[in-house]
Amino acid sequence: MPLSEGTVGKPIPPQDMPLKVTGTATYAYDVEIPGMLYAKLVTSTVPHAKLKKVDTKRAERVEGVLFVFTGNEMPYRVGMYAGDRDLLAKDKVRWVGHPVAVVVAESLEAAEKAAEMVDVEYETLQPVFDPLEALKEGAPLLHESMHEYRHAPAFNPVPGTNIANKFTLVHGDVEEGFKQSDVIIEDEFRISHVSHAYMETQNVLAHYMRDGTLEIWTSCQSPFIVRQIVSESLGIPYSKVVVKTPFVGGGFGGKAGLGWEALVAMTSKLAGFRPVKLVLSRKENFASSASREAVIAKVKAGFTKEGKCVAYKVTFILDAGAYADYTVNVSRAMGYSAEGVYEIPNVYCESIAVYTNKIPTTAMRGFGYPESNWVLEQVFERAAAKLGIDSVRIRRINLLRPGESHTATGERLREDVGDPRKVLQSLLQQIGWGEKPQPPSKPWRIRSKGFALCVKGPSQPPNAAASAIVKFNEDATVDVVVGTGNFGQGTATSLSQLVADQFGLPVERVRVDLVRDTSKSAYTWQTVGSRGLFTDGVAVLRACEDAKKQIKGIASQVFRVNEEDIEIIDGMVRVRGRPWISIPLKDLVFGYVYPNGNTVGGPVIGRGYFASTLNTYLDPQTGQGIPTIFHTFGGTGVEIELDPLTGEIEVIKAVQVFDVGKAINPLLLKMQLDGGFIMGMSIALFEKIKFDEQGNILNPNFTGYYIARSKDIPESFSCSLVETPQFDGPMGARGIGELSMISVASAISNAIFLSTGIKLNNLPMNPEEVWRQIMNQRPELVEQALENMLKLTQEAKVQ
């Protein structure tokens, strides 16, 4: 190890920050190619109908328009997990916004004008918008040919129904658990569709070249998965598909899996092998790109009088929309994570992804865990109240115990998985639990505290691999080549720190390439699930070991000692115990040159990889198995003010605590925790995609779709990091990026319940919803608030 303090554990700012803040970073939107054409989508105006005719004649006469393609020219079905999506609607449309044609023109203006002139004739079909209705026998079918779709083996669609995937988790005997229970909690929860609200809308530039090579520039999270989907769906060899991803203006799961790449690729081919670019407007992004699914959860939980949860039964119904290619995996993760941070001996969960005539859905930050957490943590809070048990005590009784406990999937937790009890204790200290809240800012408001715990691991198949290359330059600077994306989470900076630490170099001498290119970058499965630092970090460290071995092999010949006697310290290669016998790294990493010109060795390039161990597929009937490579425990605490007169909730203080294993970069961790809290709070309090009776989106912009503004941000943020190193993680680290928002909504709703007894079962908890529940459950709170307001007004008049 280096004699200097090294860089791991240091608060180093993101290395891409100068490019972003100066506006000089290059995004897919910025890329242009000579001869580039522009594409514009023509989308359905009805939610469910047979396509009788798509008349393109008027559009084709617009000056500058070269082609108008329909589904007849693109008979492909694409997808990663479910393979249920067509490039363009061919036989029928399934939601308002379903692309039925694509216009290709010399200018964007011509394409936009022509898109309005494509005439589509429909034979309307009965739509179904409610997933519960879609499950009923005789409901309108969205996918009559589901039995023909290509499905990954981990998923269980039900042909002849609207069930895209059904996941079942069975652990113990839940009915026997209910017989042992002294208190039963039963309830139903509803969660709305939400938008990923990333800053850069989806955009793709594709050039299908005459030699059969397809080059794609795209704003996506996982270029290697895009390559896989395009290759397998369109029948192109992997080596002929080159996917390039420069900077990405946000993703949050919305740019994982399939975007518009296959459609634009085929458009390029049909347009005479000319490059074609498609950029969605914000409205198009809302209407035609995927959102996060809506959820209906029906839950029943049984507790003993001592507070032990002995039975937990829950059904999640996911409103997956018209296509559910990625949502089938979300339903799986939502199901196997149902018991959260608690050891519950008897669990039964059904998680069902259901097709409806709404916008398609996909992964979103948290991957089903925020939704299941919101249900579970409120159930625990309500059980504590009913039993007369303290909120902290009921959690301590039920918390998982590393090295001893088994999860509901049957996994025995490893000893170094983390420490949920330390997380809870730190969270209570940070939020000042047990201390009386500050007086409210206005006498009619109610101020209170709440908290919730969470856990998450990446939802990935057992063979989801990662690789890395560590390549020295002539001056002993290092290029690190990885495939993991870098769009705000700061992983590239942390990887730089790991490499710098291994060779005793300043972090400025290590560069991670920020442009991903499937023909040049090292492979990684996907940038999802907070897996990047863990998987690519392990691969990077192994690449460093490979490079070290090469360096030591060269040095042992130069120094005439065994390789075991060589050490690399502070950028120097030297003999252990004889530090005066040393050579700078730069004199060895391209081979050592003797004074007479003889050379030993050559350029040093290290290679490493990550592959999971002991992970398994889950049993299709019971959900038993080991689904993830690590678990990260955490929790959120809040201090809030509720205005009973308006239903407004203001978050005054936010606290986040996570067991990160090892803090590679505490500054980036804090940035993730603060940013994740704001996103979680925004979804909890404001965000909701609104539909009319025909499936049209009523708020397809950031005026009608409200996300948290500066005025909504809490006055105080604090975070605390617990470090329980995981032996097979990079320096012991685990990922936390998406975990930072999982328990936010739960903490807020628990704070309301603890202070008022009001149950909030619908997300978002916007003022209208909260005020309605106050009037339904505790109308006297409004009367009391009015009295306090009038009293204050009268006192002011007297003064």
CB 329 within 8 A of CB 368: no
CB 42 within 8 A of CB 101: yes
CB 302 within 8 A of CB 328: no
For 334-349, give one letter per residue: b (16+ CB within 10 A) or e.
bbbbbbbbbbbbbbbb
pLDDT reported for residue 25: 94
Convert the pLDDT of each residue in 18-67 to its tens digit.
999 999 999 999 999 999 999 999 999 999 999 999 999 999 999 999 99
Q: How sure is the predictor about 750, in pLDDT bands with cuts at 50, 70 and 90?
A: very high
728 burial level (CB within 10 Å; 0-12, 13-18, 19+): middle
Instruction: State the Cα–Cα distance between residues 480 and 472, nearest whole angstrom.
Output: 9
Rg (CA), the chain: 28
Orientation of helix 780-798 relative to helix 767-777, angle to 10°: 110
Q: What is the mean pLDDT of the chain?
A: 96
Beta bridge partner(s), residue 318: 295, 353
CATH number for the domain whose boundaries are 3-24+465-610: 3.30.365.10
Same fold, 3-24+465-610 and 294-460+616-781: yes
Whether the predicted pLDDT of 724 surpasses 80: yes
Convert the pLDDT of each residue in 192-223 to its tens digit.
999 999 999 999 999 999 999 999 999 999 99
CB 609 within 8 A of CB 465: yes
Q: Which two tokens stand for residue 442?
A: 């206005």
Q: How sure is the predictor about 100, in pLDDT bands with cuts at 50, 70 and 90?
A: very high
Q: What percentage of the chain has pLDDT greater than the value 70?
A: 99
pLDDT reported for residue 1: 39
Q: Which two tokens stand for residue 592?
A: 């050592």
Domain 294-460+616-781 has CATH 3.30.365.10: yes
pLDDT reported for residue 2: 41
> 31-125+202-279: what CATH class?
alpha beta
Q: How far is CA 13 from CA 19, 507, 513, 730, in A?
A: 13, 11, 17, 20
Q: Which two tokens stand for residue 671?
A: 């940035």
Q: How sure is the predictor about 798, in pLDDT bands with cuts at 50, 70 and 90?
A: confident
Three-class secondary structure assignment of 239-289: HHEEEEECECCCCCCCCCCCCCHHHHHHHHHHCCCCCEEEECCHHHHHHHC
Q: Note the pTM of the prediction, 2 decimals.
A: 0.96
Domain layout of the chain by residue ranges: 3-24+465-610, 31-125+202-279, 294-460+616-781
pLDDT reported for residue 630: 95
**Run of H or E residues at 424:** helix 420-431
pLDDT reported for residue 487: 86
Q: How far is CA 779 from CA 449, 644, 646, 673, in A?
A: 21, 9, 12, 36
